[in-house]
Amino acid sequence: MRIITISREFGSGGRELGKRLADQLNYRYYDREIITAIARESDLDSNYVENALEKPAWQLPTLTFRQSFATPVLFQDTQVDLLTTQRKVLQRIAAKREDCVIVGRNADVILRAYHPLSIFVCADMEAKLIRCRERAPQDENLTDKQMIKKIKEIDKNRAKVREMLTDEKWGDRRAYDLIVNTSGWKIKELTPAIADFATRWFGRT
């Protein structure tokens, strides 16, 4: 079984690369499905789950849909539970023994025993800004400055969540097999290069 994990900076095109890689290599693709599975098992709303897993505990919003007057301690408990459930969901995916691409969720750390090819996707801020603009909801009216702030915050949170699970730093070269900067690439054109790399990586003697 071959697992490719993709960690990525917000706006770098990592998700698109993951999808296209899975298509080209004929692997299963996991991304939102993981959130949905965790939400189902935890009996929580999937937006809440996604939010909780992308942010350090102290930034979590109140768990209003349960109408609880939850304390910060309770939030943290929920988050720990979610991280545990996430681990189980990822282990279950790996146990299927099907070739797959998993985007996000620190799958490279959690599934390390399966020796995934772990890829980190980054891009220059200018390129990320353009990508975010293209994908922004119609009603989002952020200035460039606000957008840059948003991008940086999301990445900072991803880094913090990762550091709950491992000593390795998010985005540090020592933690990945390949880091690719997508600036100047069309993801569609980049995909065969990475697919080729992956095929050779799994075929190493």
Which residues are at the interface with a second copy (CB under 8 A)? 120, 122, 124, 171-174, 176-181, 183-186, 189-190, 192-194, 196-197, 200-201, 204-205
Output 52 or 180, the one with its CB closest to a second copy.
180
From its phi and psi, is residue 11 left (phi > 0), alpha (psi between -120 and 50) or beta? Answer: left
Nearer to a second copy, 37 or 101 (CB): 101
Eight-state DSSP code of residue 172: -
The answer to whether the CB of 119 falls within 8 A of the CB of 194 is yes
Please report which helix (H) or strand (E) contains residue 121, including its range.
strand 117-122
Q: How far is the CB of 12 from a second copy (least distance, A)?
A: 10
Nearest to 124 by CA among 48, 184, 201: 184
CB of 124 to a second copy, least distance (A): 8
In terms of CB distance, is 139 or 189 closer to a second copy?
A: 189
Closest approach of a second copy to the CB of residue 159, in Å: 12
* Coil vs helix vs strand at 106: coil
Contact 151, 10 (CB under 8 A): yes
In the complex, the smallest distance separating the C-beta of residue 168 from a second copy, rounded to whole angstroms, is 12
Indicate the helix (H) or strand (E) that contains 154.
helix 144-165
Q: Which is nearer to a second copy, 90 or 194 (CB)?
A: 194
